[in-house]
Copies of this chain bind each other. A is one copy, B any other.
């Protein structure tokens, strides 16, 4: 609606008052125009009002929201409650079923994104949903570049978990490499990453991480990778799968050299960058990996990097074709809910907002490390200095027997510390028929129990203080309750 063009009666409001008020709207119009025309993240975040206004305007462009629509034949986007649902007679009474909650919470969007053939295709019936999807993809691309992945070419959001999205990537590669069956996988003890391979019907070749002399943490076993690449029929190898963000003391995989191997042996390379977008260290690894060799696809979570509810992932690549192939592999139309949450969040933050969060995270990491080191010194533990892991820290609980370490973990959980993880020796596990020694440790030779603690984007400094405080309390409790002599 353009109030500028209306001729309002003096009785409604004097013209000169109106003129001034309308002028004050202009900056909003410019913000919207720039966003839609340039498809770049605004420098400064938008107000909630403006964000909602944009979304409502876009939703109005979907045909389920047209006033004079004839929905015959449509099987979707007819949300229960479109204001005239059903009427029943119950002793003379008319009762009308009605609810607006679903419509309201979805802003009237119902068509989802993409068309059955391709998640990136525009929907003629759903112009607003199409814009939401494409605009969000464009803004995410902008964030990626901003974060240092300067060569990234294209990306899109899929409303599936990161694990399932990796599965979809593998399946799209499989279409091009029909005889391939193996995925060379640098072990990371995170279940859904591993399951992404088995669910795709592929066979993982598991390559444990290894320790290096003089360096803390766990590293990619490049030698084993090369060995396997040499010894296996290349046609049978679907790809290398590596991981950037992970629980300490595992480091980010050496994706630069893995990319080199991928190029050398001409096999695809898929990187699991689950929560790596929030760390400029990890994003630069990706950028360099691309320069040094071959990275076909890299996948990240929307929730872990953009603080939206769980359930979405971003597929990205340094070339268009492999990314488009993934979009084309998704069978059916997908939910637009995840794109909408990301769009709202990015517009709210703006460039500076996101960068502030990223910087704050870095400072928080340094702060946690310092606090943990002080704790370690007092309590004869050790913070492992895994330099290739800028997000998660591991605290070796040298003095604690496995059962006591496990107990420490559950004490922390009961006290509201829900994000730490205790890894103990000899905890073996079988997943989809594959056996893992020392599950949780990314290797098969765990020395002693440790506790991991991650510093994610959005964590607030006081939460670190509170965590250290709880950790000290639990530790003291444990010292009191258990016979300390039996520990050592």
CA distance A18 to B84 in the complex (A): 28
Query: Which chain B residue lies CB-closest to A46?
Result: B99
Query: Taking the complex as formed, is A308 at the interface, i.e. its CB lies under 8 A from any CB of chain B?
Result: yes
Chain B residues, CB < 8 A from A82? 458
Chain B residues, CB < 8 A from A349? 80, 85, 97
Q: Could you tell me if A463 and B70 are in contact, using CB atoms closer than 8 angstroms? A: yes
Q: Could you tell me if B192 and A331 are in contact, using CB atoms closer than 8 angstroms? A: yes
Q: Taking each of A70, A111, A135, A200, which has the highest tally of chain B beta carbons within 10 Å of its own beta carbon?
A: A70
Q: Could you tell me if A79 and B307 are in contact, using CB atoms closer than 8 angstroms? A: yes
Interface set, chain A 78-134, CB cutoff 8 A to B: 78-88, 91-102, 104-112, 116-117, 122-125, 127-128, 130-131, 134
Chain B residues, CB < 8 A from A9? 37, 39
Chain B residues, CB < 8 A from A117? 191-192, 195, 431
Q: Could you tell me if B27 and A160 are in contact, using CB atoms closer than 8 angstroms? A: no
Chain B residues, CB < 8 A from A210? none
CA distance A83 to B307 in the complex (A): 13
Interface string of A191-218 (1 = CB under 8 A from B): 1110110111100000000000000000
Q: Taking each of A101, A122, A198, A329, which has the highest tally of chain B beta carbons within 10 Å of its own beta carbon?
A: A101
Query: Taking the complex as formed, is A232 at the interface, i.e. its CB lies under 8 A from any CB of chain B?
Result: no
Given contacts A48-B101, A63-B416, A341-B106, contact A199 B330 (CB under 8 A): yes
Q: Could you tell me if A190 and B116 are in contact, using CB atoms closer than 8 angstroms? A: yes
Chain B residues, CB < 8 A from A68? 24, 27, 416
Query: Which chain B residue lies CB-closest to A104?
Result: B105
Given contacts A21-B61, A37-B8, contact A166 B13 (CB under 8 A): no
Q: Which of A167-175, A262-270, A290-298, A373-381 contacts B (4 or more CB under 8 A)?
A: A167-175
Shortest Cβ distance from residue A283 to the other chain B in the assembled complex, whole angstroms:
17
CA distance A105 to B360 in the complex (A): 27
Q: Which of A49-57, A145-153, A221-229 contacts B (4 or more CB under 8 A)?
A: A49-57
Query: Which chain B residue lies CB-closest to A238?
Result: B201
Chain B residues, CB < 8 A from A53? 1, 56
Q: Could you tell me if B84 and A95 are in contact, using CB atoms closer than 8 angstroms? A: yes
Query: Taking the complex as formed, is A77 at the interface, i.e. its CB lies under 8 A from any CB of chain B?
Result: yes
Given contacts A73-B454, A198-B175, contact A164 B332 (CB under 8 A): yes
Given contacts A29-B1, A52-B101, contact A122 B13 (CB under 8 A): yes
Q: Which of A250-258, A399-407, A465-473, A474-482 contacts B (4 or more CB under 8 A)?
A: A465-473
Query: Taking the complex as formed, is A159 at the interface, i.e. its CB lies under 8 A from any CB of chain B?
Result: yes
Given contacts A192-B116, A331-B199, contact A306 B70 (CB under 8 A): no
Shortest Cβ distance from residue A248 to the other chain B in the assembled complex, whole angstroms:
11
**6 nearest A-B pairs in the assembled complex, by CB-CB distance:** A73-B419, A311-B335, A161-B332, A163-B331, A112-B310, A163-B332
What are 20 contact pairs spanning A and B, CB under 8 A? Answer: A12-B138, A13-B131, A20-B127, A21-B127, A21-B128, A74-B454, A76-B303, A76-B310, A80-B307, A81-B345, A85-B357, A100-B100, A110-B308, A111-B309, A116-B192, A159-B311, A168-B199, A171-B200, A310-B334, A310-B335
